[in-house]
């Protein structure tokens, strides 16, 4: 009977190693598949040229979108998303910033309009029509998204995911 214990121990260890190997392989394949999906986006030369002209020396990751393509890149520790149409026309570039780098005019307006609410998102959107500010506030069980122009006036977001 004592000779069966080492055999069972070996089989259980072997089974555990096989299970760990199978799980590891699955995780690696999933990660590689996700990375290749992002990297395998076929971006037309006109879009790549438009991006390179606007952001020289920057290498983005690309995502295909219904309106065209989104280039995601880092600059000075901030993540940017630049959107281009399918024919290479630049649509907008957006990025989130902390309060001290956001329009004080907009922050003051939001605080007056939504007293007691917390600002949870501050996004700057640079478009061919100008610079706009998107703010998300939360309070009283509500989540509200507002959009302002450079002068701090409420306006409609004509660029939401182009």
Instruction: Report how far residue 89's alpha carbon sits from residue 33's, in angstroms, rounded to the nearest whole number.
Output: 30
C-alpha triplet 62, 65, 67: angle, nearest 5°: 125
* Residue 40: pLDDT over 80: no
C-alpha triplet 144, 150, 151: angle, nearest 5°: 95
Confidence of residue 23 (pLDDT cuts 50, 70, 90): very low
Place of tokens 């281009």: 84
Mean pLDDT rounded to a whole number for the chain: 82
Report CA dihedral (59, 127, 142, 154) to the nearest 10 degrees: 160
Instruction: Report how far residue 83's alpha carbon sits from residue 159's, in angstroms, rounded to the nearest whole number.
Output: 10
Report CA dihedral (129, 133, 138, 144) to the nearest 10 degrees: -10
pLDDT in tens, 49-97: 999 999 999 999 999 999 999 999 999 999 999 999 999 999 999 999 9
Instruction: Give the sheet arrangement for strand 142-148, strand by strand.
Output: 61-65, 68-75, 78-85, 90-96, 118-127, 130-139, 142-148
Topology of domain 45-148, CATH: Nuclear Transport Factor 2; Chain: A, (3.10.450)
Structure tokens at 33: 């598949």
């Amino acid at each position: 009977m004592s000779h069966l214990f080492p055999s069972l121990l070996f089989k259980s260890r072997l089974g555990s190693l096989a299970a760990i190997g199978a799980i590891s392989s699955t995780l690696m394949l999933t990660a590689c598949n996700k990375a290749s999906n992002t990297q395998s986006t076929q971006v037309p030369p006109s879009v790549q040229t438009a991006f390179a002209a606007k952001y020289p020396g920057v290498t983005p990751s690309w995502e295909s979108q219904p309106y065209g393509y989104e280039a995601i890149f880092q600059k000075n520790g901030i993540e940017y998303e630049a959107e281009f149409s399918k024919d290479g026309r630049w649509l907008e570039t957006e990025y989130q910033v902390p309060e001290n780098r956001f329009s004080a005019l907009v922050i003051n307006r939001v605080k007056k309009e939504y007293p007691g609410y917390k600002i949870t998102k501050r996004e700057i959107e640079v478009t061919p029509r100008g610079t706009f500010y998107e703010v998300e506030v939360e309070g009283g069980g509500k989540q509200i998204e507002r959009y302002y122009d450079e002068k701090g006036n409420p306006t409609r977001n004509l660029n939401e995911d182009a």
